Structure 1
């Protein structure tokens, strides 16, 4: 079950699009309505840039899951980069020592959660609800607060971790 196609979203507060993000536009098309039953983030590998063999970049997007199983992308404008140090050999294409599903999952959560110390919210619920409504989904901030949140690592990320 893949994410629907579409462009990314804008920036709120102090958040900025990661340089490797897929897109940071806000013109995602409406989708067929459905009941929102989940929320999550998906993490994928970004292609290596020429000359940057000492790090690996990841793209992160957030989505809602509908009752019929569809995942509807809300934004695709986040990401992070892991650099190699003495514990990793970038020439092997392997993940640096110590990188695990849990550490990647934590990095994903770090990039989707507010980074402003003054922010009283543990997640940008209002913004995500606005993005979902812009896609044609009838959901409120309160609705999203009560939903399970999952972090999905793509097969490419899982294979990258397995090489270590």
Structure 2
């Protein structure tokens, strides 16, 4: 009987230490070059930009003027001006958010997000850690097959001269 209790206790003890508890997110493991206090971010960003970039909020669909912008140029982080997406890779996904089939390589960091009950790939600015949006596998098949669904509030557009 004591052996059975010892085995059951051991199983319970080891089952409580899952590998999921040891996983760290990108904000804990990535060294972001731009680091500011929340007060500094609040002073520099609009309330909507702060909610999206610093609190991982989501803007209302079809509310961003950048949703229907299809000019040549570069989309940069609204918080730190890091180039994130090129206008030539933008497409109309019909979702109400600016969508791109690829990012500027090396300038976007990816993380796993479970906030709404299932796993999604979250995108963060690789320089300041600002939340941009999420990546899905339902983009244009003729290119990358990816849809980078990005909050317009997280971006600034710089037209090509």
Question: What TM-score results when the alignment is normalised by the length of structure 1?
Answer: 0.29
Q: Say which structure is richer in helix.
A: 2
